Each structure stands twice: as C-alpha cells, then as structure tokens.
Amino acid sequence: MNVASVTGVTPVHDRLARFDRFGAAEGVSSLGGRTFLAGALAACAMVGGGRDGLAFGQSNAAPTAAESNLPTVSFAIPAGPLDQALKGYEAATGLKVKTGISGDKLAGFTTAGLTGTYPEAEGLRVLLVGTGLQYRLDGKTMVVGMQAREDVTVQADATMPLGQFTEALKDTPQSVTVVPQFIMKEQAITTLRDSLRNVPGISLAAGEAGAQGDNLTIRGFTARNDIFLDGIRDFGSYYRDSFNYEQVEVLEGPAGIEFGRGSTGGVINQESKRPLDHKLVSGAVQLGTNLTRRVTVDVNQPVGEIGGGGAAFRMNIMGDEANVAGRDVVENRRFGVAPSLSFGMGTKSRATLSYVHQGENDIPDYGIPWLLDGPSPAKRSAYYGFRHGNFINTHDDILTLRLDHDVNEHASFRSITRFANYPRNAQITEPQVCSNGAISPTTGLLLAPTNVLNSAQLCPYNNGAPSDPSTILVNRNQITVASVENDLWQQDEALLHFRFLNIAQAVVVGVEGGREMSNPTRFTFTGVPTATLLNPNEDLPFAGTKTLSTRTHLAADSAGLFFVDTVHLGRYIDLTGGIRYDYFYTQQRQYTASTQLNTFLYRIDKKPSYRAAFVVKPTASGSVYFDYGTSFNPSAEALSLSVSTTVLPPEENETYELGSKWGFLHDRLSLAAAIFQTTKNNAKETSPANSTITVLAGNQRVRGGQVSVTGRLANQFDFIAGYAYLNSEVIASQFYPNAIGAPLANVPKQTFNVWLNRALGLRFTGGLGGNYVASRSASSTIPYVATAWTGTTPANAVVTATRLKQVPGYWAFNGVVQRPITERISLQANINNILNRSFIDEPHPSHLVPGEGRNALFGLNYKF
C-alpha cells in the first residue's frame, strides 16, 4: 500500500506494525487511514485495548525455559480468522490466550492454521506466522501482542503525535494524510517533495528568486512557509531529504489555531525518528540509471538506565549523489547526519536532545522558458545555465531539546526549545524568452511581450506565431543570493483531561514564541551571454559583471497563545472550540546600492484566530464532522518587507469543511471524504503600472472536495487512492479586472494518486502506482498573455487575441519489485516514470521545470 492516507478513518496514533514479506516485523507510525500491508492491522491492537495494548522487544525464535517445559499437543486448527483459531488453541492446550486487541479489530487477522504435533509454545508461534504478532508466557496464560522491532512504535492512546491534538483521528474534524516511513522506502522516496506526491490536493511549484527550496500549494494556496519539523516551523529555504523521517503528516484545512500565521490551505509536518528502547541497525544502498549513489544508515543503541529511566542513542546518516534523468548538467549532492539521545524512557519525565545537519551542493535547475502561453519547444534535456557557473550550497543545522512530563492520567506537559541556522549561497540561471512587457492597468492583460534584449521592439514572433525557433534568443537571468536565516524558538503546551459538571473535557493550552532572522545579500549581473532556444551551450564559460543590489537585515519577534477545548457530550457528539492570539513584530534595515540609501521599516501585527467544530459519531466505525477556522498572512510572513507592504494589515482567510470518515469490513476498508471552501478576503496585489504600490484589494476562493480510500483485501491485495477536486478562482481584483474568474496560480482542478501492492509468488512482491495532475496556470493576477497582435513596437502594438498561460496536465506511473534474500537482507528495484512521459512538474510564472524521465533504482536493504 502506498500511504497511510485519508481524511482520517484511522486514529492517528494507531501505530501500524506489519510483518513484512521476508519475515521480519516492520512498522509505521500513522496519522491517518489504515496502512493495510501484510499484517498491518497488528497495531490496531492498541485501539480497542486502551492501555492493555502489549508490545514485545524480543523475538520468540528461541523458547524460554518455561516454554520448553510445556507439553506437546496434537493440533487440527483450520485456516481462517485468528480469533477463532485462538479459541481452538485454548481448547487444545487448556492454556488461556490473552490479547489487548478488541474483538472487531481481532477479526481483521487471519491465520494459515495449525495441523500436526507441536510443543504448545511452538504451536502458537506457527499459528501467528504472518500476522506481525508475537507471544510471551505469563504463568498459564499466553499473552499475544506486537513485536517491537525496527520502526515499530507502540502507544496505547490513539492520539495525534502533535501535542495540539487530543482525539483519535476518526474523531478529529480535519482532513489528514500521512506518508509513513515504510512507504517512502517502498517507493524509494528520498525527498519531502516526492513524499507529497502521495497526497491529493497538493501541487508542487518551482523555486523562486528569494527561496530556492521546497515550494508547493495546499488546496490552492501557497504553503512554502507552512512546513514544520516536529511541530515547529522549519523556515529554511532548502530541499529537504527524508533520511530522518518517521513519517510526513499533511493537515489540510484550518490550522491557524495550532500553528499560527499562514496555514491558509493547511500545513506539512515532518516527524523525526527518535531513539527506541531496543537495538537496531538498518539502512540501504541504492544505485540508479540516473547515476544515483545513495547510502543510508540507521543505528539505535540502548545505553542502560540513567536517572531512573531508560536511555538510548540513535544516529541516522545519509549520503546522496544523483543526476536527473532526461535533464542535462543538473546534479544533486546531499549529506546528512542526525544524532539524538533520549533519557527517562518509560518514566513520567522524558527528555530528547536531537540535532540534524543537512548539507547540499547542487547544480540547480530552473528548467526551460515559457513561450507565449505555454512551454517553449525546447528539448526536455535543454539546460540554459552554466555548468561551471551555477550552484546552490546550503548547510542547515537544527538543534532541538524536547521535555515531556506526565503528572498523572489527567495532565501532561511538553516543552520544546530549538535553535536552527540555515546558511545558503546560490547562483541560478533563469531562462527567459521575452519579458512580460508593458501591461495595461485598465484591462489587466499583457500587451505584446517585448524582447528583454531590446525593450523597444517586440519579440521575434509574427503576430504571436513563433518565428524560426532556432533564431530565438534566451536571456540567462542570474538569480544570486547569499543569506543566513536562523530561528530561536520556545514552545510549551499543557494537555488536560478532566470532567466539569460531569462532562468530559480535553484541553490544550499552549504558548510559543521566539525570534526569526533573515540576512540576504542580493546581486545583479550584466553582460551575461545569451543562449539559443534550441541549442543552449551549458559549457560556455560564465561571463558577466556582478553588482551589489541590496543588503538586508530582518528580525521578526513572535509570540502566540492558544487554547483548544474538546467537549465530549456523551458517546455520540464532540464539540471543539479554540482561540489563538498572535503577536508578530518585524523590523528591517536595507541598503540599496543603486540609490545608496539605507531604509528602516517595521510592522506590528496583533491578530486572533478562531476555530469551531463538531463531530457526530453514529457508530464506533464512523463519524461526520463540520469544521470552521480562520487564519492570516502578515505582510512579513516570508521574512521580507517593502515600503508598500509595511503599511498593509494581514490577509485574512476562512475555511469551512464538512467531512465523514468510515471503516468497513472490520476496518479492512476505509473511506473518507470532505467538501470545503477556503476564501482569502483581501489578497495582496501589486500595481502593474508601479511595482512599488501594493494594496489589499483581491479576493480569492477555492471550493472543492476530496476522497481517500484504503483497503486490505484477499490475497495480500493492498491499495490506497486519493482524489481531490479544486475549483479555484479570482473573485475580486482592483488592478486586474480581466483576471476575475481565472484560476489561481499552480492549482490543478484535479489531482489523483493510487498505489497497489500485492504478493506475486515465489516470495516476490510488487507495487504499481500513478499520479495525475491536471493543467495549471502560471499566475493568478495576470493569467492571460497576448497570442496575436498588430504593430511592430510596444508603443503601437494592439492585442487581438489572448490565452490563459498554463501548462498541460500529465500522468506518471511508477513501480517496484521486492524480494528477500535472507531474513535480514532484501533486494528492491524501482522504476519511475515507466512510460517516460515528458511533462512540466514544477511551474513558475517565469520558468518551468520538467519532470524527471524514466529511471530505475536498484537497492539493497538491510536490518539487524
């Protein structure tokens, strides 16, 4: 199966353990949906059993002395449901079998049966083969539970891993999708971007001038600043590797209460690996046809008891080099190390100190240029930069201390302190065929585009029809920045469970704050040689005169206080209400070289956010919910201010969502669906006639729905699928009236993902999946470009035809085949973009990044 998805049938902390296809337990921490790989329901033991759920740290391969003294018994237990088989085992042996698994969850397990004469302990072991469960002998009782091996995390309470959430996922009124670690391994995913292809409603975007890192939209609105690491904003502009992920969580819909500024369409949280209470060594080696060379190592070592509790050390290491199939010159080189140390494990007071370093040294890719309303006829492989002149260097360091204390079953506290430092140095070539030319503020349409090499003349087209493409020149715009961002942050939360007037309450009270800083120095270049559209020379020596543009120092001081209360009105109804108050003070000093002026700007925003929701639970297997929430986007959200934005109050957003989550066939089939509307009531717009004028005059809206389904059927047939429909539009605009009714930037009307997994025989397993992304437009303010005109210069040009500036939709298919060699070593082969489709993966208003061509990865996975 692909991803523990959905708008949430499964409780978020149902830690799903599976017995993998070569006999070793492998698991996943899952926020949403059922991950129904072979034996995935093993972890559901924790749902119905409350705190009776059991976990085992040792395999039962070698019987204990007590087990060896048990008598030999003749068994005749047929294949079928495990609950019936365990009753047969009790009748045959006289032993009692105890599980922490509720009856409806236990019904999801099956066994191959047991026939023949076995010692009683060995008989139970054989009966449990393939279920992911283990046993231990307690007097005359066989206690059945889960084996705690690699990647298996067991938590008795089915709650969100994020402290801001108190309820099981099926009772949480929000769409949630989770990509667990084992899915990333199965799909050979190495980056955050690729993991998000498993989430409906998300579309990827190309990097921007001020942010050369992960960029995307959630439900139609940019989420570049809504990426979190273990619940704290991960602001750095870098391309995130997945080597230290336990899982990736996407919360779509209102999230302003829990996460503060931004979060218009939702947020993304990266959940880090943490030390475990058992020894572990695992990793992988991968080689690819795109010259991938990747090694990962994951080592966990308990170090005994310190201060009355268990302690453990974990280290994750990654090295990665790869080209991009179908693209010339581009190279990605990353190194990462992530040590962590935990104390007090198994006690009421716990502490974890963790550090993550990721370094990157890439030859970056800003793809190919636009031509009129679509991608230029350039070859997919064409590289318009300079092999020896373009680079991205990042060296990110994140140090985190987390403290947890459980007072009793009614109260617990969490405190997180983080310091993060994100240095980066980049010089990137952005290919441009014609600028966006003169714009008429009265029509909001582009006039005939002008040649960036000679602004007095039109581009070399014949009334919109491209002339001989071999004669078209491409401007190599240099985007150059050297910057350091850093963050010092403190977050404290209290989780309270109590009864007031005999009504059960679950309350979260939190306070957080700190300082974020950004210090970019930007340069401009003149005299950079051009390229031809059809035959760019990437080996041409870089030439150009570098000039300082701006030097900026910005500091933002933030503080947020929030309160969320969930009231349980009996068995069937939950009511949730919350409020948050944010203080955001930004000050910026900037030196502009062209004017030799120093400017000082500042802005203070004080803004509340609200949330209200109710959940109706007609049965234990399903829920229906309604959710309302607000959020805001301050002018300095991205740690940048200008003279025009410093006087603007925040943009304001509100979201309505109606959804339902259900489990069928004893939760072997899960379905979730939601419809929603998000409105940005006062979007920022920059005047086309004067770029120094920005106003809050635009309104934008996205209406849509999404559905997710996961299932585990007969013959180890597991599947997951997700579909999202997004109807986005500009509903009001001061400067661009002709844009009203046009779709928002980088918002496909439809997205779809599917992944199927099945045993193939001879110990092989195989998976096949695909993604569909519909067409997307480049801009929400000026979505239309001139495609025909009369005249020879911008002054006398008259536009006679326009079209929407957009990229076409695409399908891409991927597959995997796996086979164990030994109990601890397996081989894996992945093929990505099986049909070698050529498509635009990441659009930007000024450039387009093609998707990677067909490539194969061959890996060896190991664990000890």
Q: Are residues 228 and 287 in the same domain?
A: no
Neighbours of 247 (CB within 10 A): 28
Q: Are residues 315 and 427 in the same domain?
A: yes
Q: Are residues 224 and 105 in the same domain?
A: no
Q: Are residues 314 and 228 in the same domain?
A: no
Higher pLDDT, 462 or 504: 504
For residue 425, give the nearest of 367, 488, 365, 362 by alpha carbon. Answer: 362
pLDDT on residue 26 = 33
pLDDT on residue 452 = 76
Q: What is the CATH number of the domain that holds 736?
A: 2.40.170.20
- Read off the tokens for 310: 């268990």
pLDDT on residue 98 = 81
Question: Is 54 in contact with 198 (CB distance < 8 Å)?
Answer: no
pLDDT on residue 324 = 97
Question: Is 119 in contact with 71 (CB distance < 8 Å)?
Answer: yes
Q: Are residues 261 and 291 in the same domain?
A: no
Is 90 strand, coil or helix? helix
Orientation of helix 82-93 relative to helix 120-127, angle to 10°: 170
pLDDT on residue 166 = 82
Give the mean pLDDT of the chain. Answer: 85
Write the DSSP symbol of residue 671: E
Beta pairing partners, 482: 425, 521
Question: Do the domain assignments include residue 219?
Answer: yes
pLDDT on residue 786 = 83
Q: CA end-to-end span of the chain, whole Å?
A: 24
**Span 615-666, pLDDT tens digits:** 999 988 899 999 999 999 999 999 999 999 999 999 999 999 999 999 887 7
Question: Do the domain assignments include residue 1?
Answer: no
User: How do strand 227-229 and strand 266-272 relate by DSSP bridges?
Assistant: parallel
Percent of the chain surpassing pLDDT 90: 58
Q: How far is Cα 162 from Cα 166, in angstroms, rounded to an integer?
A: 9
Q: Is the pLDDT of residue 554 over 90?
A: yes
**Span 301-359, pLDDT tens digits:** 999 888 778 899 999 999 999 999 999 999 999 999 999 999 998 899 999 999 999 99
Question: Is 56 in contact with 146 (CB distance < 8 Å)?
Answer: yes
Helices (H) and strands (E) in the chain, counts: 8, 56
Question: Do the domain assignments include residue 156?
Answer: no
Q: How far is Cα 463 from Cα 441, in angstroms, rounded to an integer?
A: 22
Question: Do the domain assignments include residue 155?
Answer: no
Domain boundary among 272, 291, 307: 272
pLDDT on residue 100 = 60
Q: Is the pLDDT of residue 157 over 60?
A: no
pLDDT on residue 813 = 97
Neighbours of 91 (CB within 10 A): 10
Q: Is the pLDDT of residue 101 over 70?
A: no
Q: Are residues 91 and 121 in the same domain?
A: yes
Q: Are residues 433 and 294 in the same domain?
A: yes
Region 760-782: mean pLDDT is 91
Segment among 163-167, 311-315, 567-571, 852-856 with least mean pLDDT: 163-167
pLDDT on residue 392 = 95
Question: Do the domain assignments include residue 28?
Answer: yes
Question: Is 1 in contact with 40 (CB distance < 8 Å)?
Answer: yes
**Span 468-478, pLDDT tens digits:** 888 888 999 99
Q: Are residues 790 and 646 in the same domain?
A: yes
Higher pLDDT, 118 or 548: 548
Burial class for 834, CB neighbours closer than 10 Å (0-12, 13-18, 19+):
middle
Q: Are residues 432 and 522 in the same domain?
A: yes
- Which H/E stretch holds residue 185? helix 181-186
Q: What is the CATH number of the domain that holds 232?
A: 2.170.130.10
Question: Is 199 in contact with 3 (CB distance < 8 Å)?
Answer: yes
Region 234-250: mean pLDDT is 93
The CA–CA distances, whole Å, from 98 to 59, 87, 148, 510 equal 18, 11, 18, 40
**Residue at 226: amino acid letter:** D
Q: How far is Cα 116 from Cα 77, in angstroms, rounded to an integer?
A: 9
Which residues span the domain enclosing 210?
169-272
Instruction: Name the domain count of the chain.
Output: 3
pLDDT on residue 837 = 95
Question: How remote is the C-alpha of 776 from its chain's centroid?
Answer: 20
Q: Are residues 669 and 521 in the same domain?
A: yes
Location of structure tokens 């060699």: 821
Between CA 727 and CA 441, with CA 745 as vertex, the angle to 5 degrees is 110
pTM of the model: 0.83
Dihedral over Cα of 542, 543, 544, 550: its sign: positive
Percent of the chain surpassing pLDDT 70: 86
